[in-house]
Structure 1
């Protein structure tokens, strides 16, 4: 069943434990939400990029992560992933947003942030918290895509 996307903004939030299965849970959740809003054409790209950010949160922190998928209206989608490590890597933070380090052809990892740069329409990040009690230190990385302009990355 295909559902028509509402004209107003919407959002889904998901807390992810530090568990290797969290990446799959994030992918399945994103795909289900996009299917429910009639945005299947964007699902491959959004699922891939979400997977990369959640994988990095798992690999580079010792704590949980949070995922937020937002429909911004006019077919635009934003995905944000929060984790407990305060370092904002290139290309998400200043000063050089294009400074993704090169990856050796035989490397088994290190391509995820380059994929975000390649397939997202915009992206960014900032540190969070540190301002007092109850404020979790970490970072939020986000990307946006225009679901109307997306073709599926992979054919199933």
Structure 2
């Protein structure tokens, strides 16, 4: 298992464009390659893709991808958006949440995050004057 030293972090601000999740995945691959963490790429890309797609489909504004190592040696990926609504099953870091039935065409993304991430969760962000600063959905792998 790779060791990630906590000396760096990246934030990629993304416009509301259907190409943004793909651009973010390419950026993630480049970052992982630069830090010789390529073996994390398949899982990290899956996690980032599901979180980015969730932000793109379920919010109406820009979003951002955060990439950083944790002190414990994991890689943490976070996706910020301005909507303060936390999807069921991701915010508590422990609940498994519902899995859609086999006929459902949507709803598997966060189930994949829960299945593939070593840890996951959500953080609500406060804005000036108590206004919502949105949320960050995050997942860790390593």
CA distance in 2, matches of 1:31, 1:136: 31
Q: State the aligned residue count.
A: 140
On the 8 A contact 2:4/2:70 being kept in 1, the answer is no
- 2:138 corresponding residue in structure 1: 142
* TM-score where L is the length of structure 2: 0.88
- CA deviations 1:57-83 (Å, max 9, x no partner) are 010111000111002356410011100
CA distance in 2, matches of 1:38, 1:130: 36
Which piece of structure 1 moves more, 76-85 or 124-133?
124-133
Q: Which runs of 4+ in 1 moved over 3 A?
A: 5-8
CA distance in 1, matches of 2:128, 2:91: 20
- SS of match in other structure, 1:66: strand
Which consecutive residues of structure 1, in runs of 5 or more, have no partner in the other structure?
A: 147-156
**Root-mean-square deviation over aligned CA pairs:** 2.1
- SS of match in other structure, 2:64: strand
* TM-score where L is the length of structure 1: 0.80
- SS of match in other structure, 1:132: helix
Q: Whose radius of gyration is greater, 1 or 2? A: 1
Which consecutive residues of structure 2, in runs of 5 or more, have no partner in the other structure?
A: none
On the 8 A contact 1:69/1:80 being kept in 2, the answer is yes
Displacement of 1:28: 0.5
CA 1:126–1:71 in 2, change beyond 3 Å: closer, same or farther? closer
